[in-house]
Structure 1
């Protein structure tokens, strides 16, 4: 019995657009364009490139055959699974299972290319994928709004933390000065009390009646010194309590900032890519890495110390290597030049590094002929947008 041939991409009447849009990412299409040495404009938009491949895939030729092979290779696992379906009913049942599990791109191509899939099933599957794209478009727009709110919240918390830390430093300085003054005064009071105690003991010896007033005065001075000592000890205790409250406030704000930054990082993978496929997850996330910076070394100068690990995560998620230099606060200038030698691109946020350090980095990049990209802010989304732009230029 002859096994019917699977349907080719160009054999569909009008399904090339949803197939390419759902089953291949823009990075994969740009890679195919380079491999096929296509005469596409170097700065063609994603929409223009997508439209070009859709037009070429509607007729049999070198481009359509290459795209068809790419789809078969990428989704060979799903194709083998759906090949077990002997009739349209079994094929539809497999599709419903995949759709319920949120797995769309591979099963979509497996159904659209299956030899037993009739027009009724093809139209139904296309309609479900089409409506998913509307739902995910709305979800992505909501994610972008949420990302904007999160970054605003992170900036607010960072500013609040800076204010609390500045107030704590000022209060600690005032506290240290006052404690030192009070301790000096306590020491002097103790010496005075010892002196008065000796005088009281001396005057307690057999003495003329005329010295009673002198003894009484010395005792009053001793009691006054004791009261002052107790008052100053209470002031020191109050300063300790104030310092503890400031420390707790700083820890609370730091914890809020850490939670907001983690939530922002979790929101970034989908939002920075501009949207996910109809499968309910980013194709790049399914592959474990976003495309565009493979093998590139990114040197990030300055920025916020508490975000460095998140900067690294964003760069490494795109396949790049991450190096960091704080702009000269702790890392030396010689260390900067050492890292600059191995960097492919240098990023510097202008809001979180000194003006002198930014100019020095820019001059060093010019001397070493390294690409220098100033960032408008030290936020995570600014870095994500810059990486997206660099990835687009590289493609």
Structure 2
């Protein structure tokens, strides 16, 4: 809804009772303050949730209205006295009236010193409100306060762009890391299959060697004792066919021994490769955790953030990659969230999933790791319990973080 559309909506209605204005001692009402202060007062002194409540109560909030449209409507209403501007004035008086009354008693020098201290601590809202509505501050003092606030807004915009660029680069790095993890996992599966095949072949060779040894023992028992115990030639059988068979068995035995040695060497090399793969996997997991820690460290809210009370929201992930559950948990809990996971299997009923969904503040459902039935159940449960369900194209960490930070931390910085 544009400013022009709202102008008529916020005008006084003669059929509605006038609302009292809770003005403090000797202060200006909000519609009489200098125009340059109206925008920062609305943007910094009224939270996004409070803006929604103000507009919703007066029927001025459209479904398509975003943060900018709400801000535009509120600032436009402050050009004159009307129902919305009086409600804004009452809200700010309730929030900052007592602090402003104390600040009104200070001279310009003391007022600016107090403002600088508040600016350093990040608790500057009451001082900004007092500057806007005070009738006694000098133009020089007001200009100094406005200049600091104006430059902070510019600095925040620059920091936001730098953060977005860095976040984009880190998402690209994370996607490359996930590709490396997938490649390492594939190599590990191939190595495991190869090792299992070698183990089976080794067992077969051992069984063949044992059978040949048993056959050799049977042949030796079948050879008649020599009449000349001291003669080496007497120990050999005289049957040419038996001699050839014994010679063939010896050759097979020698070949089997060489094969066993060869496979033992292959087994040793494969064991070394597996150990190297384990080290690579551990390093990849550590690098992934470091990236998550660095990304989430830049997105921590504090008490100056308008969405601070939302930072402990419960995040439910339905499905996803089960072996990445620890990474999901690190990502969410390091951002001051409460993590909950459901594997998406509903063969035994959806009661457990419904219980988890009812207590969740945000529900994420990747379609590539869930069946159509599970996705449909999650959507229906979301409608039933009035929960917003985010359907993700994939279960990657970047897709999860984009939804979480796209709703919270980006909004925090913008406000």
The alignment's TM-score, normalised by the length of structure 2, stands at 0.70
Find 2:53's aligned residue among 20, 31, 34.
Answer: 31
| Inter-partner Cα distance in structure 2 for 1:190 and 1:211 | 24
Find 2:289's aligned residue among 240, 247, 258.
Answer: 258
CA displacement 1:316-342 (0-9 Å, x = unmatched): 85xxx875422229x854446644883
- Residue 174 in 1 paired to residue 174 in 2? no
| Inter-partner Cα distance in structure 2 for 1:335 and 1:248 | 41
Q: What residue is the counterpart of 1:17 in the other structure?
A: 39
Gaps of 5+ in 1: 271-279
Q: Displacement of 1:129 after TM fit?
A: 0.9
Determine if contact 1:302/1:352 at 8 Å carries over to the other structure: yes
Find 2:86's aligned residue among 65, 72, 77.
Answer: 65
| Inter-partner Cα distance in structure 2 for 1:335 and 1:167 | 39
| Inter-partner Cα distance in structure 2 for 1:20 and 1:31 | 14
Counterparts of 1:24-103 in structure 2, within 5 Å, are 24-35=46-57, 37-75=58-96, 79=100, 82=103, 86-103=106-123
Q: Displacement of 1:185 after TM fit?
A: 1.7
How many residues of Structure 1 are paired with residues of Structure 2 in the alignment?
Answer: 367
Q: What residue is the counterpart of 1:325 in the other structure?
A: 342
Determine if contact 1:314/1:384 at 8 Å carries over to the other structure: no
Larger radius of gyration: 2
Q: What residue is the counterpart of 2:5 in the other structure?
A: none
CA displacement 1:349-392 (0-9 Å, x = unmatched): 2233345643565577789998765233431244237857xx9x
Find 2:157's aligned residue among 137, 161, 171.
Answer: 137
Determine if contact 1:346/1:372 at 8 Å carries over to the other structure: yes
User: Secondary structure in 1 aligned to 2:160?
Assistant: helix
Determine if contact 1:301/1:348 at 8 Å carries over to the other structure: yes
CA displacement 1:49-88 (0-9 Å, x = unmatched): 22222232233444333323322333467547745x6311
- Residue 235 in 1 paired to residue 235 in 2? no
| Inter-partner Cα distance in structure 2 for 1:114 and 1:13 | 10
| Inter-partner Cα distance in structure 1 for 2:404 and 2:277 | 34
User: Secondary structure in 2 aligned to 1:374?
Assistant: strand
CA displacement 1:222-265 (0-9 Å, x = unmatched): 66655544333222222211111122222222222222233333
Greater alpha carbon shift after TM alignment, 47-56 vs 161-170: 47-56
Q: What residue is the counterpart of 1:106 in the other structure?
A: 126
| Inter-partner Cα distance in structure 2 for 1:332 and 1:160 | 36
| Inter-partner Cα distance in structure 2 for 1:383 and 1:26 | 19
Q: 1:262 to 1:82 in 2, by over 3 A?
A: same
Greater alpha carbon shift after TM alignment, 354-363 vs 60-69: 354-363
Counterparts of 1:189-204 in structure 2, within 5 Å, are 189=209, 192=212
Q: What residue is the counterpart of 1:276 in the other structure?
A: none
| Inter-partner Cα distance in structure 2 for 1:173 and 1:385 | 41
CA displacement 1:117-175 (0-9 Å, x = unmatched): 22111111111111111111111122122222222322222222122112212211221
Determine if contact 2:317/2:364 at 8 Å carries over to the other structure: yes
Q: 1:315 to 1:42 in 2, by over 3 A?
A: farther
Determine if contact 2:209/2:253 at 8 Å carries over to the other structure: no
Counterparts of 1:301-312 in structure 2, within 5 Å, are 301-304=318-321, 305-309=325-329
Determine if contact 2:45/2:125 at 8 Å carries over to the other structure: yes
Find 1:209's aligned residue among 205, 212, 233.
Answer: 233
User: Secondary structure in 1 aligned to 2:184?
Assistant: helix
Q: What residue is the counterpart of 1:274 in the other structure?
A: none
Note the aligned Cα RMSD (angstroms): 4.3
Q: 1:267 to 1:174 in 2, by over 3 A?
A: same
The alignment's TM-score, normalised by the length of structure 1, stands at 0.73
Q: Displacement of 1:12 after TM fit?
A: 1.2
